[in-house]
Amino acid sequence: MDADRIMNAWEAAEYLRLTTGALYMACARGQLPAIRWGRRLRFRKGDLDRFLGERTTAPAGTPAPNGRKG
């Protein structure tokens, strides 16, 4: 399954269009789940997709799902 694909930090940062520093910072803040593999971090594609989905916003003036304007 594609959601179970494991990525290294460089691949995950490229997928999210972040720098690796920003990726590590998101992990340190607890915003992005990671798998510690020895001293290295690995990321599941499904977790990265959820991270993006949680930060997706509607364009200004578009009703949000709760009925309020975004």
Model confidence, pTM: 0.74
For residue range 25-43, what is the model confidence (pLDDT) as tens digits? 999 999 999 999 899 999 9
Classify residue 68: in a domain, yes or no: no
E strands, 1-70, are: 6-8, 35-37, 40-44
Q: What is the distance between the alpha carbons of residues 62 and 64, in angstroms, rounded to a whole number? A: 6
* 37, part of any domain: yes
Element (H, E) at 21: helix 20-28
Domain for residue 29, yes or no?
A: yes
- Give domain status of residue 62, yes or no: no
70 or 32: which carries more pLDDT confidence? 32
Containing structural domain, residue 25: 6-54
1-14 confidence digits (pLDDT tens): 687 899 999 999 99
Counting the structural domains of the chain, the total is: 1
Has residue 1 been placed in a domain?
Answer: no
